[in-house]
Structure 1
Amino acid sequence: MDVRRLRLLVELSRLGSMHEVAAELATTTSTVSQGIATLGREVGAPLVERAGRRVRLTPAGQRLAEHAVTILAAVDAARLDLDPAAEPAGVLRVAGFATAVRRSLLPAIVELTRAWPRLEVRLLEHEPAEALDLLGRDDVDLVLAYDYDLAPAAWQPDHVARPLWSTEWGLGVLDPTSAPVSAPAPGAGLPAYAESDWIVNSRHTADETALRALSARAGFTPRVVHRIDSLELVHDLVLAGRGVALLPLDRLTPDGLTVLPLADPPVLRAFAVTRRGRDQWAPLRAVLDELERR
């Protein structure tokens, strides 16, 4: 059923005259009459009947008009919801890695909910592969993902990835003052840790790919022993002398752990990822604009 014809029927039930409907909708009486007749053929029942010089709705027409009020209200609500110029309102689902949620999304939410109180952002903490799978199934609207310059992400054709920020990573090791005498000297470089046990991410392969690229340049193959998702647990393992790991240079570390800069450091790059063509939805547009502003 054409919603324009449903609107004719609703106006006829309200005004009681095709002439008045035509005047209300800035059209002709003939157009109104033809639209109502076509709608009747579509539903298989007459919708109007003569009542002297005027027409009135049949019982079928009255029932359809009642349905049409609800249908048209839903259509209008959908149009408003999808209008890029509308006030951001509704639920936006975001999946992202913890650092980006802390660094980018949470500060953005504070500003957004102050400006748009009808906007609700729901969070799911996931590594990129998991989050992008949710995006592909339309289970989330926005993903905060990352890759490394040494392990670039392979975005899907329907992905739009917007750069947010980047940070260099170094080598997380025991502080020289805490390390055993046999530990490499400060400034010894990556090859000095060729025989060390290494810690990599358990839920994303990008940092291991970056590590293997770095170590190949240095002439060794890393012995990956531990696979850990939490950076705090990586810190604990390094402090316990159970291995070394790539860690961000701009992150605070506990006493006893230091992050050594590398001559050619890997760079982690954070992105806001959406499905192509979805970014004009007002809630998503508002969040993207705030993230990019930051």
Structure 2
Amino acid sequence: MDVRRLRMLLELSRLGAMHEVADALSTTTSSVSQGIAALARDVGTPLVEPDGRRVRLTPAGRRLADHAVTILAAVESARLDLDPSAEPVGVLRVAGFASAIRRSLLPVVGDLRSAHPGIEVRIHEHEPLEAFDLLARDEVDLALVYDYDLAPADWRDDHEVTALWEVEWGVGVPTRDRGLVLADLADRDWIVNSRNTADEDALRTLASRAGFVPRVVHRIDSLELLDDLVVAGRGVGLLPRGRTSRRGVSVVRLRDPEVRLRAFAVTRRGRDAWAPLRAVVGRLARE
């Protein structure tokens, strides 16, 4: 198979229109169409089908596009082995949760401006379940995700995982209740994340050890809104220690066990040979 045609197919899987592929690869729409047709003849099965005024990949086309990522990365890796002075160039798509973007990714992006100006980083804010889905569908190249030590992530066989940092978490309560322990909160309403299940899993493990089942009432994505609900007396919930919470909120330290949020950089296996991805993950790991 011609790697140029594989690249056309991969770009078509990402962009969805042959004229957009032509623009991205600085060629003509006719050349893209002919290249995809020739690739289909090479593999002996249709790779695209009509979708209104556009086209979409067939199941076989999607599978080949998945293979194309690894194949093209291997070709790029081989090229770099022969030309170690080659400068990383390309668009890197990152999906991650807000804290990791602020704490880890933005400093790296700033460093890349001078070290590797040919790398363009595009940032999408997502919770881990959403980021994993985007990574599996090859809509992003890198996922910044988290789990809790009491609710470890279920990594897939094709995940490459790099540990980044950890943060201790406690229970956010009204300041007047800061002397309470977890068992004292058994009758409170609880607040959990609306877009990810990890903190609820960690909470249920904690509560089980303390001898109660938490009454989960509110599902909130924003830590600032969780603060507001705590101050309003609407419930309590897990919050990071060391963070500046709203006045009136105290974060009770948990003991035996404590809870730690763990941040990770995740890629699909075999993709780290791509120079821009390798450059960013390497810098994230050093932060």
| TM-score (normalised: structure 2) | 0.71
Q: 2:210 aligns with which of 191, 214, 218?
A: 218
Match of 1:209 in 2: 201
Equivalent position SS for 2:196? coil
Q: How does 1:224-235 map to 2 (within 5 A)?
A: 224-235=216-227
Q: What's the CA shift for 1:82?
A: 6.5
Letter in 2 for 1:258: S
Equivalent position SS for 2:87? coil
Instruction: Determine if the alignment matches structure 1 residue 277 to structure 2 residue 270.
Output: yes
Q: Would you say the 8 A contact 2:173–2:237 is kept in 1?
A: yes
Match of 1:94 in 2: 94
- Go from structure 1 to structure 2 and tell me whether the alpha carbon gap of 1:251 and 1:142 turns closer, same or farther (over 3 Å shift): same
- Go from structure 1 to structure 2 and tell me whether the alpha carbon gap of 1:162 and 1:79 turns closer, same or farther (over 3 Å shift): closer
Match of 1:122 in 2: 122
Q: 1:287 aligns with which of 272, 280, 284?
A: 280
Measured in 1, the distance between the counterparts of 2:93 and 2:208 equals 40
Q: CA RMSD in A?
A: 2.0
Letter in 2 for 1:226: H
Letter in 2 for 1:130: E
Letter in 1 for 2:103: R
- Bigger radius of gyration among the two: 1
Q: Deviations over 1:4-34 (max 9, x none)?
A: xxxxxxxxxxxxxxxxxxxxxxxxxxxxxxx
Any unmatched runs of 5+ in structure 2?
Answer: 4-71
Letter in 2 for 1:286: A
| TM-score (normalised: structure 1) | 0.69
Q: How many residues align?
A: 213
Q: How does 1:180-195 map to 2 (within 5 A)?
A: 184=177, 186-195=178-187
Equivalent position SS for 2:272? coil
Match of 1:68 in 2: none
Q: Would you say the 8 A contact 1:94–1:122 is kept in 2?
A: yes
Letter in 1 for 2:165: W
Percent identity of paired positions between Structure 1 and Structure 2: 62
Measured in 2, the distance between the counterparts of 1:161 and 1:190 equals 32
Measured in 2, the distance between the counterparts of 1:167 and 1:247 equals 10
Match of 1:47 in 2: none
Q: What's the CA shift for 1:81?
A: 10
Any unmatched runs of 5+ in structure 1?
Answer: 4-74, 177-183
Equivalent position SS for 1:83? helix
